[in-house]
Structure 1
Amino acid sequence: MTLDRRLIAILALVLAAIFFLALNIASTVFFRAARLDLTDNQLYTLADGTREILFSLEEPITLRFFFSSKVAASYPTIRSYAERVRDLIGEYQALSGGKLIVEESDPEPFSEDEDRAVALGIKPGPTEDGQTIYFGLVATNTVDGKEVIGFFDQSREEFLEYDLTSMIARLNERKKPVLGLVTNLPLDTGPGGLMAAMQGQSQPFMIYYELVNSFEIEFLEQKFDTVPDNVSALMIAHPKTLDQKTLYAIDQFVMKGGRVIVYVDPMSEMSQIPGSTGEPLQGATITSDLPELFKSWGVSYDPHIIVADRGRARRVQYGRAGQAADYVLWLSLQKSDLAKDDLVTSALDAISLATPGALRPIEGATTQFTPLITSSEDATEISVEEAQADSDPASLLARFMPTGEKYVFAARVSGPVKSAFPDGPPKEAKPGDAEEGGPGELENPEAEKPEGAASDKPAEHLAQSKGPVNILIVADSDLFQDKFWVEAREFMGERVAVPTSGNGAMIINAAENMLGSNALISLRARQSSLRPFTAVNALRAKAEARFLAEQKELERRLEDTQRRLDELQRAAQPGGQQGVLSPEQEAEIERFRGEIVETRKGLREVQRNLRRDIDRLDTALQLVNIVLMPVTVLGIALALAAWRAAARRARAARTGT
């Protein structure tokens, strides 16, 4: 009987091993691309936008994947990433309904495959032993369209799906939509301006590359009579003061159903970036506003007011000592501050703003005002003059007085509107009339034409919109600036964008939404994987609010005591009758020195108090990770052992053995 049990146990183990091996082989063959995605924002699950684009492919697209598998055998990190790329391409092919044709090549040195890879734009990556790795992708359609990823940069691994899907989407488009751009920001030249860009001393802002990759950009000078017919949507980004004819052209574009995205700013830090001369570019404007149009659209905006938000303040280092503090004028907004039911913001996790303004609906307006981005309730308003006079982070925190109001930074405006020019188009300015940008008088453009002249009849004036308008307004332009949303890295001779916030995603999302395309929004919104330590940030803000005033008072007392001590010590210098100190003065010096020591002790205590709650949280987390989990596992093991022992005793009692 004992032998039979042992034999059965051995056979069971053998069968279990065979079953385990068979299961592994079957899973490798049939479930190679299967994966379980446990990330919070589903970074490794194909987005609905990818599926939509793959299902809508109109013509075959060929993907040529080049990977030096033999050379990469010694580099497990690259090999592992290549496997992920290969699996993802396989998933795309399976969902494309036969419209994606996949080819893979292993370019060996001095081979025809290597020549073809280089000719198509694949970039070789040198290795430590002098060999070359090719790891890139070329996508082509049936005409002359070509998209290339020269080398897969692992720093963009979390954006892999977006990179692949966007290149396929561009090849599937017969023509890029045209986005009209009206701006006083040097997006296409960088802070150095045109001359510096031509000399290679300035590069475009990274958002400009994103815009050009997605749309056909048509720059409209900040003075035009009409919006070109080929422009599908307008993006107005921190414009200078526009004249009446330009405002009228924008107004009529909206009346006809044109869609507009507006970025204004009470204090644009981006416009004040020093150029090659060390000064902002000539013509740069710090404030932007469209008062006539905003009033027509039912929106109130004060270009002299900035919103400061302690609850969303960005942590910065300032001063010579590199002291850290929350800067209430630079904001790191969270998912809870973004509209969940609007395509532009619904899937974003974070947005970074700087010195933003506030938007409000005008009471009685015919439009619907829908907030997209809002502040926390721990916010207040300060004037532009106040921010320019004293932008010290500690000073701003010390005098911060929250209003309890949640301010709106971005909003969608929809519904019927009336023209900002109810009497028709403005007339040409004459000598002595209002200066450019002023209201001017109105006239009939046909009235002064000489008899017999060819009629250049203007478009019909629309006093109200033909249907509901669709307008996006954002009270900040600094979200375009690289430092607030992206790290631009040099990789194999190219600039590679590694987003740190959702600014770029939001800007492109808004444009695509206005141009009628939403498929890529769900992918681009996943670019931000930033997971802020919200509990730590809340503890830090609470501690700073409690101890900052005490710290300021101690620092003031320390400076005052040090000043008085210096005065007494100077009196003790040799020369003159002032060189002799009385016993009282010497005692005063000793007292001052004692006060300095005590004040410094007080400052150290304040700094310890600032870290106390954070350190307690850190200790608790370490306790959970290091002690609680092993104790829990041990407890479960002991409970199972006790249960099995009890079961054996009960079985023994029943059998009498």
Structure 2
Amino acid sequence: MSSRLFSKAGLIALVVAALVLTIAVQALFRGARVDLTEDKLYTLSQGTRNLVSNLQQPVTLKFYFSRQQTEGIPQIRNYADRVQELLQEYAQISGGKIELDIIDPEPFSEQEDEAAGYGLQAVPLSMGGKEIYMGLVALDGQNLDESSEENKSKIKKELISFLSPDKERFLEYDISHLIYSVTQSSKPKLAIISSIPVTGGGFDMATRQSSQPWMSISQLNKLYQVQNLGLSVTSIPDDISLLILILPDLSPEAQYAVDQYVLRGGHALVFLDPHSEAAGGGMHPMGGGNQSAYLETLMGAWGVEMVPGKFVADEEHALTVGSGTGRSVRHLGILGYGPDNLDGNDAVTGNLKTINFASVGALRQREGAGITFEPLVQSSQSSALLDASQLQMLFDPKVLYKDFNPTGDVYTLAARVTGPVKTAFPDGRPKPQVKAPEGDETVMEEQEEETVKAKNSDKENAEEKPHLMGSDGPVNIIVVADTDVISNRLWVQVANFFGQQVASPFASNGDMVVNMVDNLTGNADLISIRSRGQFSRPFTKVDELERQAQARFLKTEEELNQQLQATESRLVQLQMQKQGKKDEMVLSSEQAEELKKFQQEKLKIRKQLRDVQHQLNRDIERLGYQLKIVNILLIPILLTILALFWKVRRRRVTHE
């Protein structure tokens, strides 16, 4: 039997059988996929599947990647392959609604001109070297006709100019957002309600001129349709995609309008503050308005609250500022946070570098609230809550250290709130409250007339939109406990260049605002998409070894600094004993002995530092050898033993 199997005819029969079996499997299981990766890297989230299945019009995706130019660069090619595989998954689940084109824009080709014409970014691999494209263009496929330049200009398009590997965790979100954006017929509308003139029109004390819109708001004006509703609003239009509240000092009628808007499915971005310097709460208060906003009524209904009368002081992240004494000091209330304090798994904060806050409050979930409270930005454990009243007329930030005692707790500075909520007005629309000065009959008559008009208006609104007692589905709200975070002074320098404003950002505050708005203006499926796992697998054991070595290094270095300070103190003490003597400038025998001891101790500690670093290198090398032994020797030996065991067992079974 065995000789027949390995004869020429038998081998041919085996090959034919294998081919037939392969073709049959491909035909039967066409489109079937099994994702065996730990983080399900190649499995699209349910939010993406819902978004793609609900597409009302076709979409064409054009993935431009310079494959020929990246020959010999496996890192970039591997990432491009992963992007391409993910895009193919989109096309696979779309049922023909998404068409995918893979294009290699070779140098001086029509494809390269096409990529540049769409606005894709060519990135140089090295100084003066090759330039490569790795961008994605989404085209509205409903009226796709690129036969002429005129038709091209009418086609709606969205693009990702360069798919950076640094944003790999948010690749699915970026692609899904691209598809969602290109299918929208118009720009989303934003509505702002603010007690601070963020849209301009106020008076700038510094320039003695009318103030310009804050740069964070100017960014939004370029991307969305933005309108200012004012503080006396009584209803929110249905076509508003996102409501932005900034230091909201709202009447009950205005709060009711916001309440019903959110319950109808509207999204909200709220900036509260225990002490707003932008509203005149700095060292030189301008007055005229509230410098804090808690929005207790609405926040209570949404299951969130900001700790009243307190701001977060964080010694670890305090920024250096000028003081009334002319010296630069660290300000416990002006804080700068990096990636370690930001939620790396949320599309809003996952790729931000630095966020600066000033007199920021602390958010927390109310006890018993049935919502999901997800912190986006948190303080370090070297934090405490201080009275916001200390910030009023504060000339020397060093004063804040007097009452500062870190609690070891972590405070939430910005959070995402989702889940079902109830109305803050169970009795329905509140009645307008009108206050008139005593004895002024004319004013009272006018206010009575306004009251009647308001009541009639309320009746009309009540007829048009029935009062809601709760949300139909989960709400989507982001709350930030600071308004200064979006003011220019904390993140951007703005200069006037020939009548145009030129912005030079030094922090990511503006990016955070755009990310928040970008995220909340999408539909619920898009908001539900979070970051996916990393394709690259870090050497966690090596990272742990490095952290341990760093801790030992810092401890030894701290010992050296303490030795240095002790020696300097001893030298100063000996020098003071010699004041007024002739040999004041000459080292005494005691001073010389102290210096000698310190030099010896310094050399000893420096040797210890080198030993720590050498030990780290030895630990990493030892780990590498162990992995090599396991992969090269142990695994093959185990497989060989298993194969021999199986062969011996089969032979015994055959003989039996």
Scaled by the length of structure 1, the TM-score of the pair is: 0.60
Does residue 1:167 correspond to 2:161, yes or no?
A: no
Report matched runs for 1:19-98 at 5 Å. Answer: 40-65=38-63, 83-98=81-96
Match of 1:232 in 2: 240
Match of 1:253 in 2: 258
**Whole-angstrom distance in 1 between the partners of 2:539 and 2:648:** 53
Matched length: 580
Deviation at 1:88, TM superposition (A): 3.9
Does residue 1:578 correspond to 2:581, yes or no?
A: yes
Does residue 1:262 correspond to 2:270, yes or no?
A: yes
SS where residue 579 of structure 1 aligns? coil
Match of 2:470 in 1: 468
Match of 2:527 in 1: 521
**Whole-angstrom distance in 1 between the partners of 2:89 and 2:229:** 45
| Uncovered stretches (5+) of structure 2, i.e. residues with no partner | 144-153, 208-212, 322-333, 492-503
Q: Which of 396, 421, 446 is matched with 1:414 structurally?
A: 421
> In 2 relative to 1, CA 586–293 (structure 1 residues): closer, same or farther, beyond 3 Å?
same
Letter of the 2:468 partner, please give it.
K
Deviation at 1:131, TM superposition (A): 8.3
Deviation at 1:358, TM superposition (A): 2.2
Spell out, residue by residue over 1:495-534, the C-alpha distance to the aligned partner (whole angstroms, 9 max, x if none). 99x999x96798358624xx7x222234453398898979
Q: Bigger shift: 545-554 or 634-643?
A: 545-554
**Whole-angstrom distance in 2 between the partners of 1:66 and 1:370:** 40
**Whole-angstrom distance in 2 between the partners of 1:315 and 1:615:** 34
> In 2 relative to 1, CA 627–348 (structure 1 residues): closer, same or farther, beyond 3 Å?
same
Report matched runs for 1:243-392 at 5 Å. Answer: 243=249, 248-255=253-260, 257=263, 259=266, 260-266=268-274, 288-291=292-295, 293=297, 297=301, 300-302=305-307, 304-307=309-312, 330=337, 356-360=360-364, 370-373=372-375, 381-383=384-386
Report matched runs for 1:83-232 at 5 Å. Answer: 83-103=81-101, 119-122=117-120, 136=135, 137-143=137-143, 144-149=154-159, 151-155=161-165, 158=168, 159-182=170-193, 216-220=224-228, 223-226=231-234, 228-230=236-238, 232=240
Letter of the 1:162 partner, please give it.
Y
**Whole-angstrom distance in 2 between the partners of 1:390 and 1:544:** 32
Whether the 8 Å CA contact 1:427–1:443 is kept in 2: the answer is: no
> In 2 relative to 1, CA 390–608 (structure 1 residues): closer, same or farther, beyond 3 Å?
farther
**Whole-angstrom distance in 1 between the partners of 2:132 and 2:585:** 82
Deviation at 1:155, TM superposition (A): 3.6
Q: Which of 386, 402, 408 is matched with 2:408 structurally?
A: 402
**RMSD after superposition:** 7.0
> In 2 relative to 1, CA 616–316 (structure 1 residues): closer, same or farther, beyond 3 Å?
farther
| Uncovered stretches (5+) of structure 1, i.e. residues with no partner | 197-201, 273-278, 319-326, 434-441, 486-494, 572-576
Letter of the 1:623 partner, please give it.
R
Whether the 8 Å CA contact 1:63–1:140 is kept in 2: the answer is: no
> In 2 relative to 1, CA 229–445 (structure 1 residues): closer, same or farther, beyond 3 Å?
farther
SS where residue 589 of structure 1 aligns? helix
Letter of the 2:582 partner, please give it.
G
Spell out, residue by residue over 1:246-292, the C-alpha distance to the aligned partner (whole angstroms, 9 max, x if none). x75244321464653323345789999xxxxxx99x99x99742355
**Whole-angstrom distance in 2 between the partners of 1:407 and 1:636:** 48
Letter of the 2:178 partner, please give it.
M
Whether the 8 Å CA contact 1:332–1:350 is kept in 2: the answer is: yes
Match of 2:592 in 1: 590
SS where residue 421 of structure 2 aligns? strand
Report matched runs for 1:525-540 at 5 Å. Answer: 525-526=531-532
Report matched runs for 1:547-558 at 5 Å. Answer: 557-558=566-567
Whether the 8 Å CA contact 2:436–2:444 is kept in 1: the answer is: no
Whether the 8 Å CA contact 2:57–2:183 is kept in 1: the answer is: yes
Deviation at 1:169, TM superposition (A): 1.3
Whether the 8 Å CA contact 1:509–1:521 is kept in 2: the answer is: no
**Whole-angstrom distance in 1 between the partners of 2:48 and 2:651:** 62
Whether the 8 Å CA contact 1:261–1:472 is kept in 2: the answer is: yes
Deviation at 1:561, TM superposition (A): 3.0
Whether the 8 Å CA contact 2:276–2:483 is kept in 1: the answer is: yes
> In 2 relative to 1, CA 217–305 (structure 1 residues): closer, same or farther, beyond 3 Å?
farther
Spell out, residue by residue over 1:30-76, the C-alpha distance to the aligned partner (whole angstroms, 9 max, x if none). 99999876655444432323322221121222334556666666876
**Whole-angstrom distance in 2 between the partners of 1:115 and 1:377:** 49
**Whole-angstrom distance in 1 between the partners of 2:621 and 2:276:** 43
Scaled by the length of structure 2, the TM-score of the pair is: 0.60
SS where residue 142 of structure 2 aligns? coil
> In 2 relative to 1, CA 188–120 (structure 1 residues): closer, same or farther, beyond 3 Å?
farther
SS where residue 254 of structure 1 aligns? helix
**Whole-angstrom distance in 2 between the partners of 1:563 and 1:360:** 51
> In 2 relative to 1, CA 562–536 (structure 1 residues): closer, same or farther, beyond 3 Å?
farther
**Whole-angstrom distance in 2 between the partners of 1:152 and 1:381:** 42
**Whole-angstrom distance in 2 between the partners of 1:644 and 1:378:** 55
Whether the 8 Å CA contact 2:300–2:366 is kept in 1: the answer is: no
Report matched runs for 1:597-636 at 5 Å. Answer: 597=599, 623-628=622-627, 630-631=629-630, 634-636=633-635
> In 2 relative to 1, CA 181–636 (structure 1 residues): closer, same or farther, beyond 3 Å?
same
**Whole-angstrom distance in 1 between the partners of 2:647 and 2:621:** 39
SS where residue 48 of structure 2 aligns? helix
Letter of the 1:167 partner, please give it.
L
> In 2 relative to 1, CA 419–626 (structure 1 residues): closer, same or farther, beyond 3 Å?
same
Deviation at 1:447, TM superposition (A): 0.9
